[in-house]
Structure 1
Amino acid sequence: MTEHPRRPAALRRVRSLPPWSLLAAGAVAGGLLGGAYGALQPPVYTATAYVVAVPTEKSDPASALGFAQAYGRVATQLAVLGDAQGAAGVPVRTLQRSVRTATSPDAPMVSITATAPSAGLAADMANAVSLSLTEHARSSRKTTNVELQQFARAVRPTDPSSASPALTGLVGASAGGLLGGLVLLVRPRRERETPAATAAVPGQAPAADLHGAL
């Protein structure tokens, strides 16, 4: 018969470790990697400005609500961002990547949110886009009978909106522990040793046969 090759010593050591060691190793490794990612990634700041649609004497609140939804979609178009790039101090491509808008089905309000690596730049971009949007709305006020006014300017955020190293480390530890648990589930079980009481000794009958003979 062909003998199986011996398993590497490292593999035998890994299989000899207690099951909880895989969970602990995965959690520690994931926590270290997550904490390092949180510490090395650049901070991100978020600032939000708000504009509100106001109906004129020839319109009504329902029309203002509908135009607010439309202006929320127009705010990120090239025409609005092109006029805002000068006041924001960044090119249009940066505004397209960093500015998002949101509207409410119950209130004629548009929120303009900008993200940037610095707090001042985030506030400047949000305010520049909101100002450009109100200017575009003012030019078509006679047609829409709705005026867009600035409700709240964006202020410089005091803290970054990106995840802290402690949070990313906690997420990494959870993911590492989960991965260690999955490895533990698929790891082959140790070969069970035959109990000494039932082991057959060469030249000696099994214990069950001796009991029957008696």
Structure 2
Amino acid sequence: MLTFPLVSTIPTLQLFIILLLVVSLNAHNKSWDRPICTEGIVSVPRGDPAVMTCNISNAFTDITIQLTAHGKEDRTIFNKKPQGNFSWSGWELHVQGGQAQLVIKDTQDDHTGIYLWQLHGCQRYYRNITLNISGSRTPAAGTEAGVNSYNTQPDGMSLTEPSNEDKVTDTRLFTPDPDPVKSSQLEAKPGTLVGVIIAVLGVTGIITFVCYRRRRS
């Protein structure tokens, strides 16, 4: 009865398994969203526009944005919005492919707080972005250099330096720490990778068993 060399079969089988696992891992990694959002705190003067963004490597399935403000109930600004442009009470949400942008054209105190983004592409992610509003509007274009718009007096009167009290940012604003649970919460889908590994191990066991039987015979 013919026998087959076991020495050359086993290294080839191991190389095949390694290559199959590498291909499976690369294919699985391509499905990750890899979200990139505006980080930290966004601070703008009252009345100026504010922009916050979140982008992923895949197209968005839907987006939910909630606002948490000190002393106020949590508000849902946009709930599971798909691709498109949406607006509500001063907020504008633009979703196109894997790009999402939240725009506030005229920021007011009601817009201050922590914005919790629930991103849904191939997985679900949670990101926090804090928006702070300061008390003064940015000087309009054409304002003479060196003159503070909030300190301008009628002709013939001298300009005075603003007091320390005027320079202090509104103490009602706050910057709470982002929720570490929601920020790190991630719903991945490892089922595909686990199935591939199980299938590879099964094929490996069958081939090893066949080689063993042939060697004994």
Higher relative contact order at CA 8 Å, sep ≥6: structure 1 or structure 2? 1
Structure having the higher helix fraction is 1
TM-score, normalising length from structure 2?
A: 0.28
TM-score, normalising length from structure 1?
A: 0.29
Structure having the higher strand fraction is 2
Which structure has the larger Rg over C-alpha atoms? 1
